[in-house]
Structure 1
Amino acid sequence: MHRHRRLKRLRNVAVPLAVVTAAGLTYGFAAADDDSTGAGTGPAAAAAWADDTADGFASVEANGQQGTYGGRDGETVTVKSLAELEKYATASDPYTIVVAGPIKMDPVGKEIKVASDKTIVGAGTEGDIIGGGFFLGEGVHNVIIRNLTIRDSYQGTWNDKEHDFDAIQMDGAHHVWIDHNDLRHMADGLIDSRKDTTNVTVSYNRLSTNNKAFGIGWTENVEADLTIHHNWIRETEQRNPSTDNAEHAHLYNNYLQDDPDTEISSSYGNYARGGTRMVLENSYFQGFTNPVTKDEGAGLVQRGNVFKDTSGRNESGGTAFDPKDFYDYELDPAADLPAKLTAESGPQAAIGTTTTAAGTKAAKTLTVARDGSGQYDTVQKAVDAVPAGNSEQIVIAVAPGTYREVVKIPAGKPNITVQGTGSSRKDTVIVYNNASGTPKPGGGTYGTSGSASVHIEANDVQLRNLTVSNDFDEAKNQDLQGQQAVALRTIGDRIQLVGTIISGDQDTLLMDSPSKDIRSRVYVTGSYITGNVDFIFGRATAVVDRSVITLKKRWNGDSGGYVTAPSTADGRNGILISRSTITGDVADGSFHLGRPWHAGGDAALDPQTTVRDSHLGAAIKSAPWTDMSGFSWKDDRFAEYRNSGAGAGAAGEDRPHLTDAQAAQQEIADWLGDWTPGAV
């Protein structure tokens, strides 16, 4: 594919552009299955997203356009207001437009008319478009819409005939790439590709909680070419997608999920209508009614798909085409898609942050390798080498291997990133096996907080692309008083865990603060957290976003446990789990979402956990909250909002749900305040 490259000019509109030098793949530090690639080859590499171009039919030369690369040849601007976004999106010049915070459409349902040669990208996971979307009209071309959350133009009627409020509508456009977005809860369709719109690729998006997901057609011509791959489509009734009169429709590696006993039920899945020629490969259909349908005149070739708990029509027939006549691609096994796409789809923390601007200082790198090929052979030695009061960015690049050591980043050493340099987060492991009751060399025991394998006491610290584990063996130490064994303890402010695995049993991840009068914020994204009892806990203001929380059986094989145990101070936000998956190989109905930890019996605390927009497996109890140490959960703050899955349930006395108005005050931005996480 032809790639255009030229030096970009950087321009700030609302806030400074984030400076990054950390490694990242095209799709960032995604939390796929534990064996997946989570980072690039080294911390000095620039973020890759700025030069990304589309794959699939959006990459094919046609209509005078050589691939889809958006606004890469123009200026990069950062916007935080509707006026700024509309100004640059509608301009005639090319622009890369970084959306660095939530933007509300006014009026509700407004669709900004995007001009050609634009990239509109969310900054990490902070680019929310609320109450409206985008329109690409006749002849508009070379547009990338990426890494955004576009949501909430819903007007109270699922099959809404009165409000044409789409997330993205295209009428006669060409060469469009829609990638890594979260599209949900709109009044009409999430994506409409109409009136001979062609050379479109739609990849790694989440389309959910809507009546109509993705409609293609509104034309008598059979000439549109589209590639639709690696999307997670769930809780949508129709147009999943409905493909009408497309000459070449290539659908592969999509995950279509319809949960039972919810407000929305699927009427059909992939639909080849009219004269469409469709190739449908290695997709996963779960719970769908009529998962694959076709009109008599359509050609639909199926191969390698998985159908679980589906019913009704599942059709194929006729002839289609060979996608490899147009472009190269690789298929993932269909069976891997639920785990892969629940974690990898949607906005990613490493997309939308920019490469180092002129005049800024790149991070200093210290290297660690067990075999002696680095500057240091342990992680702690590298931390020790960072000067006290450090003010510059330090990246500790850790080569693949298992580092059996306790690592402590003291309060006087901020601005440190510890990053694994392997191809998977599993390649670099920091592990130890202290428990609360483990005797200390100088007498006494470690206690819960002291048992951590990694302690982060400093501010502005990041962990990336690695595993932190506590492998204390409960079965072999049943005589020990104090089985709690922390993998990671944080007490600093502005802590990021990106593309990590945090693994243990009881009390895995302790997110704390120096005292209950001090706020400490933690942002976890694209990560795995594993445990069984109170394994996400503490008094920090903490966000677990787009991650997989894995429930684990206890040492004796029994199921049962508690996901969270917040000890939030009064007047402060506690633990927010958002856009994540909670699942595990444990018994159905055996786990609580949380219970209130009044540390030290402090009745003045006001513990809080909110779980929203997440997929809950069958292990979650129908009454998901419970009491702790004589304190009732009903006296504290525990709630859900718009969750799905077998473990989700309707609002009730034992299962409080937020109202829409309450949920609007419990967004990620409300937790993080003036801090926007980004790469180093």
Structure 2
Amino acid sequence: MRRRTFLGMSSGLGIVATGLTTTPALAGGRRPDLTVAVDGSGDHTGIQAAIDAAPAGATEPFVIGVRPGTYLGQVVVPATKPFLELRGLGRRPDDVVIADDRANGTLKPDGTPWGTSGSASVTVSGADFRAVNLTFANLFDEAAHPEITNRQAVAVLTRADRLIFDRVRFLANQDTMYVNSSAAGVVARVHLRDCYVEGDVDFIFGRATAVFDRCRIHSLNRGSTPNGYVTAPSTDITNPYGLLFQRSRFTSDAPAGTVLLGRPWHPSNDPNAIGQTIIRESWIGAHIPDVAWSDFGAWPWEEARFFEYRNAGPGAIVSANRPQLTDGQAGEYTAAAFLRGGDDWAPERC
């Protein structure tokens, strides 16, 4: 089950794993246009209020600085508000926590369930969004709600293009991070650097093109076998780029050989969702077994686009069950290629 002390330092291990420092978030950045503070010392006391006050149709970044504290309540960044930045003003990502506590099966006031997308603590539909130096979490407590069987509880749902997450933690259990797009066949790119993502079942999933660079991917121990699945991509067949993990660390407290790297998700049995997960030049712990990929219902993992390349660690096994990129393929499946698109987007320069 999930550790409940994450508002303190327990999940701050992601900082150590990715080499993050305690340099203040303001270093090298423009001054916030608005400030949020739980104690009333800023322009707003809530995240959504600040987003509502931001200008629509912006063509340059609008920075919302968030002072240390815990901010509860669902947050939505609408498509009408591009170029928003949420910047944690603490010294570490765990100083600012933005969270909610609903699951797929949690009931709305009208008695109907929220569903997986509706469970998201934070939904980002505005393009060119950036989050820096903070934590997003879904606090849904599985043990406290045995009556809820649909336990997908999303911390962040992305639907827009050209998103950046820099030194951000994502915390939940099932379906932590839903990287999606506005519609099937529409490409949406996401770049994550020096981030920490934790969960258990399918906790990084969706059809977006997402690059995880120097991130720590931590699988929780839920006390079962299998203990969970790291990814569940649903990449559209027309998109050559799905989920890419490079120079990252895959860790867990679960027993050896009990966590799988992923399985191919076909939403509504969509035959065109040919998921892609590529893990390259990363460290993989002993929680990952020789047979590292799994079928998803009737959909076999062998038909998905699952590959590894030059990984290390006790779970980095090269065998017939672990498809590997050739050197030539590895030269094509790079972070730059995943993110470039038709507009030559280069987030490492942003």
TM-score w.r.t. length of structure 2: 0.91
Aligned to 2:165: 497
Aligned to 1:426: 94
Aligned to 2:61: 393
Query: For residues 175-574 of structure 1, what are the structure 2 equivalents within 5 Å?
Result: 365-554=33-222, 560-572=227-239, 573-574=241-242
| Separation in 1, partners of 2:235, 2:331 | 20
Q: 1:46 aligns with which of 14, 28, 31?
A: 28
Query: For residues 614-653 of structure 1, what are the structure 2 equivalents within 5 Å?
Result: 614-652=282-320
Aligned to 2:254: 586
Matched, 1:609 2:277: yes
Contact 1:414 1:459 in 2 (8 A): yes
| Separation in 2, partners of 1:39, 1:457 | 29
1:553 Cα offset (Å): 1.3
Structure number having the greater helix percentage? 2
1:34 Cα offset (Å): 9.2
Q: 1:677 aligns with which of 322, 325, 347?
A: 347
C-alpha distance after superposition, 1:453-479 (max 9, x if no partner)? 111111000111001011111111121
Q: How much is the aligned-residue C-alpha RMSD, in angstroms?
A: 1.8
| Separation in 1, partners of 2:31, 2:92 | 22
Contact 2:257 2:288 in 1 (8 A): yes
Contact 2:20 2:167 in 1 (8 A): no
Shift of the 35–659 alpha-carbon distance from structure 1 to 2, 3 Å rule, reads closer
Partner amino acid, structure 2, of 1:475: A
Aligned to 2:335: 668
1:40 Cα offset (Å): 1.5
Give the structure, 1 or 2, with the largest relative contact order (CA under 8 Å, sep 6 or more).
2
Matched, 1:659 2:348: no
Contact 1:39 1:465 in 2 (8 A): no
Q: Secondary structure in 2 aligned to 1:380?
A: helix
| Separation in 1, partners of 2:45, 2:142 | 30
1:679 Cα offset (Å): 7.1
Contact 2:250 2:284 in 1 (8 A): yes
| Separation in 1, partners of 2:68, 2:100 | 17
How many pairs align?
333
1:35 Cα offset (Å): 11
Q: Secondary structure in 2 aligned to 1:418?
A: strand
C-alpha distance after superposition, 1:97-139 (max 9, x if no partner)? xxxxxxxxxxxxxxxxxxxxxxxxxxxxxxxxxxxxxxxxxxx
1:557 Cα offset (Å): 7.0
Shift of the 34–420 alpha-carbon distance from structure 1 to 2, 3 Å rule, reads farther
Q: Secondary structure in 1 aligned to 2:94?
A: coil
Shift of the 678–374 alpha-carbon distance from structure 1 to 2, 3 Å rule, reads farther
Partner amino acid, structure 2, of 1:493: D
Contact 1:405 1:432 in 2 (8 A): yes
Shift of the 529–569 alpha-carbon distance from structure 1 to 2, 3 Å rule, reads same
| Separation in 1, partners of 2:144, 2:176 | 18
Q: Which stretches of structure 1, 4 residues or more, deviate above 6 A after TM superposition?
A: none
Partner amino acid, structure 2, of 1:369: A
Shift of the 474–34 alpha-carbon distance from structure 1 to 2, 3 Å rule, reads farther
| Separation in 1, partners of 2:290, 2:277 | 17
| Separation in 2, partners of 1:36, 1:672 | 23
Aligned to 1:32: 16
Contact 1:580 1:613 in 2 (8 A): yes
Unmatched 5+ stretches in structure 1: 1-29, 48-361
| Separation in 1, partners of 2:17, 2:305 | 32
C-alpha distance after superposition, 1:500-544 (max 9, x if no partner)? 110110000000000112100011110100001000000000111
TM-score w.r.t. length of structure 1: 0.48
C-alpha distance after superposition, 1:238-260 (max 9, x if no partner)? xxxxxxxxxxxxxxxxxxxxxxx
Partner amino acid, structure 2, of 1:579: R
Contact 1:559 1:587 in 2 (8 A): no
1:32 Cα offset (Å): 2.4
Q: Percent identity?
A: 42
Contact 1:38 1:499 in 2 (8 A): no
C-alpha distance after superposition, 1:402-431 (max 9, x if no partner)? 001111100110001101000110000001
Partner amino acid, structure 1, of 2:28: A
Q: Secondary structure in 1 aligned to 2:286?
A: coil
Contact 1:568 1:607 in 2 (8 A): yes
C-alpha distance after superposition, 1:618-657 (max 9, x if no partner)? 00011111100210111121111100000011131x2111
Aligned to 1:596: 264
1:442 Cα offset (Å): 3.1
Q: Secondary structure in 2 aligned to 1:419?
A: strand
Contact 2:25 2:87 in 1 (8 A): no
